[in-house]
Amino acid sequence: MIHNPTMECMDRESMRKLQSERLIKTVKTCYEKIPFYKKKMDRMGVKPEDIRSIDDIYKLPFTTKHDLRDEYPFGLQAVPQSEIRRIHASSGTTGKPVVGTYTENDLKMWAECVARVMAVGDVGPGDIVQVAYGYGLFTGGLGAHDGAAVRGAIQLPTSAGNSEKQIMLMKDFGTTALCCTPSYALHLAEVIEKNPDIKAEDLKLRVGFFGAEPWTWGIRRELEKKLHIKAIDIYGLTEMCGPGVGGECLFQNGTHVAEDMFYPEIINPETLEPVAPGEEGELVFTSLCKEAMPILRYRTRDLTHLIYEPCECGRTTVRLGKILGRSDDMLIIRGVNVFPSQIETILTEFPVYTPQYFITVDRKNNEDTFDLDVELRSDYFSPNPAKQMPFIKPLYDRIVSMVGIKPNIHIKEPGNIERSTGKAKHVLDKRTLLTDWK
Ligand code: ADP
Ligand code: ZN
């Protein structure tokens, strides 16, 4: 089902017209109300009048995570505090968190974006939406919660964690839609598997909206099979609003962007020039109707490409390809660029392994080391190294041929790699430990 056909199926010309009108207004607000943008634009010699349509967007300055941190907490706000209704913040594992503030209308627009994604799974009255994203400063919990409300569904705010109870409620209440990170969904699927009293096919679960971190096709297949659901990808970031900036349709062939609210571009992260249409690069977003904290050309550091071909579902909005990861997730090991998602893709090709993994990178004797912990499924696991060998070899060969580096693979007992209730942590780069907490 399409939640808002007027916006989601608008012809391209009308969409560009709408985007142009909204961009002009946003730029004017940024220039007049946010000294940071006035300074940046003045330095570049750009005036709001120079922006006559969305095609002029390239004239505008970029905004980076650094800028947001420098202006912490409210430096980029365009309205007085009396108009703010809520504050969220991203995890900010290093340094200050990134803050997002919302007017009443911002909250309404955000809930509308999430509702659009939930409509893909026909979520509506009578549906129970179990929100197992964390509630709190993180945008996942309340974002999904408000989106479910717009769809007229029943909100079940379990938040993340307490997995046994999550499953009990899922069964007893008859949850039909689950919202959480894909890694937590995987963990919940494992908990169900281990519980002799519950079978996934007896649950009423029909659809899952998973996001907040990159996840591969292998994980999707695993979740769909284990939970008997359709697994829908939902994308977002605190800087724009939170989850719902984009979401997949049932064709699962890219993430439709709520383009009437967020204008996406792909740039080459080195030259900052736009890439050729369809080419991979860094995703950049400009907010088109945010009131509290409008943002111009925000560099997300997410690497992906844009798909402009019309989609079979009838939505006309541009789609994001699967997100490879953030540029800062990329590891350079012995000079080779490695994304954790590449390891996940390879691992999930091997049915003998669980999809869990942990990478440790270090530097010994002037050489990078790459240790990979993986779990054999219980049917295949043996503590005897000789019995593990036949499983290690094919995985090792595949990683060497696909990624180009030789891993030290360590087999762990199933359940041994730490599970996450939120965004999974897959990497420990010991080389950066000394410089990280400046
Ligand atoms: P933090 O920076 O603390 O992780 P956010 O929750 O705002 O805070 O994270 C937003 C980021 O999460 C995005 O820029 C992207 O890297 C990642 N992300 C969110 N949803 C998805 C998704 N569906 N697929 C891949 N990555 C995602
Ligand atoms: Zn579609």
Instruction: Give the Cβ contact number of residue 143 at 10 Å.
Output: 29
pTM attached to this predicted model:
0.96
Q: Nearest bound ligand to CA 247? A: 1
Measured between alpha carbons, how far is 293 from 71 in angstroms, rounded to an integer? 12
302, 329, 420: which to mutate for ligand 1, most atoms within 8 A of CB?
A: 302
What is the rounded average pLDDT of the residues 247-267? 98
**pLDDT given for residue 92 in this prediction:** 65
Instruction: Please provide the average confidence, as pLDDT, over all residues in the chain.
Output: 96
What is the rounded average pLDDT of the residues 37-46? 98
Task: Kindly report, residue by residue over 87-143, the tens digit of the pLDDT.
Answer: 999 976 667 899 999 999 999 999 999 999 999 999 999 999 999 999 999 999 999
Q: Nearest bound ligand to CA 326? A: 1
Q: Nearest bound ligand to CA 301? A: 1
**pLDDT given for residue 438 in this prediction:** 34
pLDDT band at 216 (very low <50, low <70, confident <90, very high): very high
Pairs from 76-81 (Cβ < 8 Å, separation ≥ 24): 76/34, 76/36, 76/293, 76/295, 77/34, 77/101, 77/292, 77/293, 78/29, 78/30, 78/33, 78/34, 78/291, 78/292, 78/293, 78/294, 79/33, 79/103, 79/291, 79/292
Report how far ligand 2's centroid is from the alpha carbon of 289 (Å): 23
Report how far ligand 2's centroid is from the alpha carbon of 413 (Å): 40
The beta-strand segments (E) located in 90-131 are 99-103, 128-131
What is the rounded average pLDDT of the residues 331-359? 96
In this structure, what is the dihedral angle of CA atoms 147, 148, 150, 151, given to the nearest 10 degrees? 130
In this structure, what is the dihedral angle of CA atoms 307, 310, 311, 312, given to the nearest 10 degrees? -150
Backbone angles phi, psi at 425, to 5 degrees: -110, 115
Is the pLDDT at 437 greater than 50, yes or no? no
The binding-site residues of ligand 1, defined as CB within 6 angstroms of any ligand atom, are: 90-91, 139, 211-214, 233-238, 300, 302, 323, 326
Ligand 1 atom, smallest distance to 239 CA: 7
Ligand 2 being an ion, which residues bring their Cβ within 5 A of it? 249, 251, 311, 313, 315
Instruction: Mark out the alpha helices in 151-181 (DSSP H runs).
Output: 163-169
Task: Kindly report, residue by residue over 404-436, the tens digit of the pLDDT.
Answer: 999 999 999 999 999 999 999 999 999 986 544
Nearest CA, atom 24, ligand 1: 214
Ligand 1 atom, smallest distance to 93 CA: 3
Report how far ligand 1's centroid is from the alpha carbon of 92 (Å): 12
Report how far ligand 2's centroid is from the alpha carbon of 420 (Å): 30
Is the pLDDT at 6 greater than 60, yes or no? yes
Measured between alpha carbons, how far is 378 from 262 in angstroms, rounded to an integer? 45
What percent of the chain lies above the pLDDT cut of 90?
96
Is the pLDDT at 295 greater than 60, yes or no? yes
Measured between alpha carbons, how far is 254 from 319 in angstroms, rounded to an integer? 5
Is the pLDDT at 368 greater than 80, yes or no? yes
Distances (CA, A) of 249 to 21, 139, 141, 226, 310: 27, 22, 21, 21, 12
Q: Nearest bound ligand to CA 317? A: 2
Amino acid at site 112: E
Nearest CA, atom 14, ligand 1: 237
Measured between alpha carbons, how far is 178 from 176 in angstroms, rounded to an integer? 7
- Asked if residue 237 lies in contact with residue 293, where contact means CB atoms within 8 angstroms, the answer is no
Ligand 1 atom, smallest distance to 234 CA: 23
What is the rounded average pLDDT of the residues 204-214? 97
Report how far ligand 2's centroid is from the alpha carbon of 58 (Å): 27
